[in-house]
């Protein structure tokens, strides 16, 4: 049975964590394939809130195999902390439930230092990165100077690679970024501790994943961020440093592309973005504040307030087309209760011309204006709805209109954080 893939269709924070957690109930293996601890998935299970940054959201289902694939960049300090926090709460009882690819690149302290220093120097033009060292770690990977998880276990090789890197990065930190140098010994000693903590989980994750699929196991691939943060297809340069689109999932997980079957796109019923960059439907007024408050729109990783705005069908349509989305999971519909009328962006206007797709340049993003369609809102609580037919007529109409505008059928609608506050329309496996 081919794998099911979950992708974010906006600027991240679409509520993928809840959807992956739900779908993980029917999966045997859940895999992260790109990004790192810039992601933050918030889950509410039995009234208890869990934020995961690296370990796939399937971890709250005992017995699921959670994999961190070769395309991920791993901060071992964060991973060790996450493992320990989960263990304290009774999760991850068996080491075999977490597999960490030996090919995944390590985030090092100098990556974090460079990320933060560059952001400081950019000032008002900063990208608004999460400061977790994601971009600098991917830079080293592409420059072929990165250090991978597997390298930790070749102690001599690791020492040599680290010496080279610390020398080079300290030169850059001091001379160009005006930062203090980092201590080789401190990093070396910390990473020696992480080596032992992570040893039980390190594996040829791609090979294990292919074997699991061949054995008929159900695999869920958990995308992080969202298509508009994709390094090629997003609002460059206000993007993350990995490929977010479905086309990258196979490589990042270690699968052939044909091993992926269904692709589920997650979209929030409105739009949010954290960090800098274009956001045509942003609401900077009281309604934006209300969405932020009602939707608890604060970054799961950094706690930053998220920018909020109307649903942008241009963005989601682009993601649906680019990723080949088969079904849409619409989240946080309940947050729109009481907002009347609702607006949906159906296209952009640029220089007197209508655009149905996102433009490629920053200048175009800055110059366009969104074109809106208005829809009536609803005041009734969505609490008990378990099918589309249970929704108030205007909520159903809103959902159906979004599906038509973006060109994908609805697979699922989330109307609250708990697992059961969900309307399932089809089977996703």
Contact set with ligand IMP (CB under 6 A): 11-13, 38-40, 127-130, 132, 134-135, 224-225, 229, 238, 240-241, 274-275
Alpha-carbon span 278 to 368, nearest angstrom:
10
Query: Minimum distance from CB of 392 to ligand IMP (Å)?
Result: 30
Q: How far is the CB of 316 from ligand IMP (least distance, A)?
A: 16
Could you say which DSSP state residue 17 is in?
H
User: Which lies closer to ligand IMP via its Cβ, residue 228 or residue 403?
Assistant: 228
User: Could you tell me if 278 and 364 are in contact, meaning their C-beta atoms sit under 8 angstroms apart?
Assistant: no
CA neighbor of 195 nearest in space, from 58, 33, 74, 110: 74
Among the options 34, 41, 105, 318, which is catalytic?
41
Active site residue 420: no
- Cα dist from 351 to 280, 361, 368, 413, whole Å: 15, 14, 8, 37
Q: Minimal CB distance to ligand IMP: which residue?
A: 275
Q: Which is nearer to ligand IMP, 33 or 398 (CB)?
A: 33
Q: How far is CA 299 from the centre of its chain?
A: 12
Which ranges of 264-409 does DSSP label H, i.e. alpha helix? 286-294, 313-323, 362-367, 393-406
Backbone angles phi, psi at 328, to 5 degrees: -105, 135
Tokens of 237: 């340069």
User: Is 41 a residue of the active site?
Assistant: yes
* Min CB(73)–ligand IMP separation in Å: 10
For ligand IMP, the closer of residues 264 and 391 by Cβ is 264
The per-residue DSSP string of 90-132 comes to: T---SGGGEEEETTSEEP-HHHHHHHHHHHHHHGGG-----SS
Phi (first) and psi of residue 51, to 5 degrees: -110, 125
Class of residue 289 by CB neighbours under 10 A (exposed 0-12, middle 13-18, buried 19+): middle
Return the number of the residue (72 or 224) whose C-beta is nearest ligand IMP.
224
Shortest Å, Cβ 16 to ligand IMP = 9
Shortest separation between residue 234's beta carbon and ligand IMP, angstroms: 9
Catalytic one among 13, 28, 115, 151?
13
DSSP letters along 19-40, please? Answer: HHHHHHTT-SEEEE-SB-TT--
Which CB, 76 or 136, lies closer to ligand IMP?
A: 136
| Strand 202-203 relative to strand 98-101, pairing | parallel
| 12 vs 150, beta carbon nearer ligand IMP | 12
Q: Give the residue with the Cβ less far from ligand IMP, 11 or 378.
A: 11
- Tell me the C-alpha distance between 179 and 115, whole Å: 12
Question: CB of residue 139 vs ligand IMP: minimum separation in angstroms?
Answer: 11
Least Cβ distance, residue 13 to ligand IMP (angstroms): 5
- Closest contact distance (angstroms) between CB of 31 and ligand IMP is 17
Which residue's CB is nearer to ligand IMP, number 184 or number 298?
A: 298
254 vs 74, 249, 250, 257, 375, CA distance in Å?
16, 8, 6, 9, 44
Output Rg (C-alpha) for the chain, integer angstroms: 21
Active-site annotation, residues: 13, 41
């Amino acid at each position: 049975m081919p794998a099911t893939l979950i992708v974010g269709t906006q600027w991240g924070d679409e509520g993928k964590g809840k959807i992956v957690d739900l779908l993980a109930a029917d999966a045997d293996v859940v895999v992260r394939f790109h990004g790192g601890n810039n992601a933050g998935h918030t889950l509410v299970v039995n009234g208890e809130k869990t934020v995961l940054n690296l370990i796939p959201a399937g971890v709250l289902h005992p017995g699921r195999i959670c994999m961190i694939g070769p395309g991920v960049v791993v901060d071992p300090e964060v991973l060790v902390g996450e493992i320990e926090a989960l263990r304290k709460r009774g999760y991850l009882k068996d080491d075999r439930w977490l597999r960490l690819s030996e090919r995944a690149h390590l985030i090092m302290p100098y990556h974090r230092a460079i990320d933060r220093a560059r952001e400081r120097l950019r000032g008002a033009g900063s990208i608004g990165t999460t400061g977790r060292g994601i971009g600098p770690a991917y830079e080293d990977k592409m420059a072929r100077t990165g250090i991978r998880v597997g390298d930790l276990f070749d102690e001599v090789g690791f020492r040599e690679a680290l010496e080279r890197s610390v020398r080079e990065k300290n030169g850059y930190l001091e001379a160009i970024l005006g930062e203090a140098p980092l201590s080789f010994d401190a990093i070396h000693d910390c990473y020696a501790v992480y080596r032992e903590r992570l040893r039980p989980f390190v594996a040829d994750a791609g090979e294990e994943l292919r074997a699991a699929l061949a054995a008929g196991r159900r695999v869920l691939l958990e995308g992080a961020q969202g298509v508009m943060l994709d390094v090629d297809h997003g609002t460059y340069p206000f993007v993350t440093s990995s490929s977010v689109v479905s086309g990258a999932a196979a490589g990042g997980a270690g699968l052939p592309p044909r091993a992926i079957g269904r692709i589920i796109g997650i979209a929030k019923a409105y739009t949010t973005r954290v960090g800098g960059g274009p956001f045509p439907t942003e609401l900077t007024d009281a309604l934006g504040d209300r969405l932020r408050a009602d939707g608890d729109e604060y970054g799961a990783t950094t706690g930053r307030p998220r920018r909020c705005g109307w649903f942008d069908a241009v963005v989601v349509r682009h993601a649906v087309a680019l990723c080949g989305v088969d079904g849409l999971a619409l989240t946080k519909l309940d947050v729109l209760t009481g907002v009347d009328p609702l607006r949906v962006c159906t296209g952009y206007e640029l220089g007197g011309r209508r655009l149905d797709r996102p433009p490629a340049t920053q200048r175009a993003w800055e110059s366009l204006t969104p074109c809106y369609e208005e829809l009536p809102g609803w005041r009734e609580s969505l609490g008990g709805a378990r099918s589309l037919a249970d929704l108030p007529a205007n909520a159903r109409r809103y959902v159906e209109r979004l599906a038509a505008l973006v060109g994908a059928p609805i697979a699922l609608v989330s109307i609250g954080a708990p697992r059961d506050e969900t309307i399932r329309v089809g089977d996703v496996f």
